[in-house]
Structure 1
Amino acid sequence: MELSIRRVKALIKKEIKDFIRNKNVSIICLLPVVYALIAVNAGKLGNVMPKIDMLNMGLSMNLTLVSTFSISMLIAEEKEKNTNRTLILSSVSPVEFLLGKAIWIILFSVITNIIMYLIIGIDIQYIGYYILWSTLVVLTMVQIGGVIGLISHNQMSTGVVGIPVLIVFLIIPLLASLNDTLKRIALLLPNYSVQVVLDSLINGKGYNSFTYNILVILVWILIAAIVLAYTYNKTGLDK
C-alpha cells in the first residue's frame, strides 16, 4: 500500500491537537521536565545528587511515561471512540495511522530529553552522544507503547496492561544497584543500557566498556519492531 506523506502530515497535525485536548497525556508528558526542575532546585538547597543520576532518572521517566504510555493512551483513545475506523475508511492506511502518532511522540520525547539535559546542566560536549543513544531507545519504547495501545480496549486498560512494563523498565533499573539479580535483569534492558553508555562517556571510559550495552539497545529496536508487527497483524486497529 502506497504511503502518503501528505496524509501522515495531516495525521501529525491531528495528533498535536489531540495531545493538547487530552489532559492525561499532557500531564504525563510534562512530568520528566518537572522532575528535572525539582531535582536541580533540590541540589541548590543542599540535597546533592550527581548530575548523571538526575539525568538517568529523568530519562527513565521520559522513556516509560512519555515514549511508552502516551502513545498507548492515544491509540487506545482512538479505538475507544472508533475514530480509527473512520480514518481507515477515509483511505488512511493503518501504517499511516501509526506513523502519524509515533512521529509526534518520538519528536516530543527527544525534545523533552534535550530540555532535561540542558536543565540539569551536564557538559554540552556530550549532548550529541546523548541525543543519539537516547533517541534509539525512544524508538524502542514507542514501539512497545504501540503494542500496549493495540492490545488495550480503552485508555483505562492501558494502565492495567502497562503496569508490568512500568515495573520492568522503570522500577528494576532504579533498584539495580541494590541487588545482583536485579542488576543482571537491568543489563538486558535498553533504558538501563543507555544509562550505562552515558555514564561511561561522561566519565571518560573507553568504548569497550559499553559495547555490550550498545548491542542490547540495537537488538531491542529489532525485537520491538517484530513484536509490534506481529501484534498489529493479530489485532489490527479495530479490535
Structure 2
Amino acid sequence: MTFSFKRMNAIFQKDWKDLYKNSYILFTLAIPLAFAALLGRIGEDDSTMQSMPITLAFVIAGVFVQAAMIAEEKEKNTLRGLLLSPASTTEILIGKSALSLLMTVVVIIGSIILSDFQVENVAWFAILIIINLIFYISMGTILGLLSRTVMETTIIGMPVMLIFGLTPMFVSIIENKAILKLINFLPSERFSAAWSAIASGKGFADIGTHIVILLIWAIASLILTFIIYGKRQFDK
C-alpha cells in the first residue's frame, strides 16, 4: 500500500477539530508557558533551569497530549475503526502525531520567547528538538495505546513526567552514584547537558555523545510504538 497524504491529513484534521472541544488539553498546554514566563520574570540564567520549560513542553505537549488524544479515541470506541481502516500504520501514526508535534513546537517557541532565552546555535538546537520530538511523542503514543481512558493516561503518565521531565531538577540532591549513572543516560539529562554545551558555544565534539544517546532513545521508542500498535491492531 502506497503512502497517502490524503488519509493522513484526514486524521490530522479530525484531531484538530477535536482539540477546540477539549479544555483539558488546552489548559495542559499552558503549563510550560507559565513556567517559562516565571523564569523569564526572575531572570534565571542557569542552563539547567533554562532547559526545563522545553523539557516540560516535551513531556506535557508531546507525551500527555498525545496520550490523551489516543486514549480519547479508545474511550469513544473509534480507535478500533481507525486501526482496521485502509490507512497504513505509518499514515495513522504520523496523522495521530502531527497535531501533538505541532502543538509541542508552538509551546517550545512560546517558552523561548516568554523566558527570553537566547539560542546560540539554531542548527544544533533544531536537531536536538527533532530527536526529542520523536522520542516524547512516541512515548505519548505508547501511553495512549496502553491506557483505557484519558484519566488513566494521567495516572500512568506521572512516572513518565517525573523520570523523563523533572529529573534534572533533583540531580543535585541525589547522592547515590548508581542512580546518578542511570539518570545520566536519560533523555532529559542529555538534552540539558547538550543545551548547556550549546549555550557555552561548544560544537559537535562536545554534544555529539548526547545526540547519539538521544538518537538511541528515539529509535528504540519508535520501534516499541510500532510493536505495541501492531498488537493493539490485532487484539480481540
Match of 1:192 among 184, 189, 202: 189
Match of 2:94 in 1: 99
1:18-97 matched pairs, under 5 angstroms: 18-41=18-41, 43=42, 48-50=43-45, 52-88=47-83, 91-97=86-92
> In percent, how many aligned pairs have the same letter?
25
CA contact (8 A) 1:84 1:238 kept: no
Question: 1:212 Cα deviation (Å)?
Answer: 2.1
With CA pairs under 8 Å and 6+ residues apart, which has the higher RCO, 1 or 2?
A: 2
Distance 2:151 2:130 in 1: 28
* Residue identity in the other structure for 1:37: A
Match of 2:227 in 1: 230
CA contact (8 A) 2:120 2:201 kept: no
Distance 1:122 1:23 in 2: 29
Unaligned runs of 5+ in 1: none
| Runs of 4+ residues over 6 Å off in structure 1 | none
Match of 1:108 among 100, 103, 108: 103
Question: 1:73 Cα deviation (Å)?
Answer: 0.6
* Residue identity in the other structure for 1:126: N
Question: 1:142 Cα deviation (Å)?
Answer: 0.3
Unaligned runs of 5+ in 2: none
Compare 17-26 and 114-123 and name the one that shifted more: 114-123
Distance 2:235 2:151 in 1: 17
Question: 1:89 Cα deviation (Å)?
Answer: 5.5
Match of 1:119 in 2: 114
CA contact (8 A) 2:168 2:192 kept: no
Match of 2:205 in 1: 208
Deviations 1:51-100 (A, max 9, x none): 63443110121111110111111000001101223445553444423221
CA contact (8 A) 1:140 1:224 kept: yes
Distance 2:198 2:160 in 1: 28
Distance 1:2 1:188 in 2: 38
Tell me if 1:153 matches 2:148. yes
Structure 2 counterpart SS, 1:188: coil
* Residue identity in the other structure for 2:108: N
**RMSD, aligned α-carbons:** 2.1
Compare 79-88 and 3-12 and name the one that shifted more: 79-88
Question: 1:202 Cα deviation (Å)?
Answer: 1.0
Question: 1:125 Cα deviation (Å)?
Answer: 4.1
TM-score by length of 2: 0.89
CA contact (8 A) 1:84 1:237 kept: no
Structure 1 residues 126, 51: CA separation in 2 closer, same or farther (over 3 Å shift)? farther
Structure 2 counterpart SS, 1:123: coil
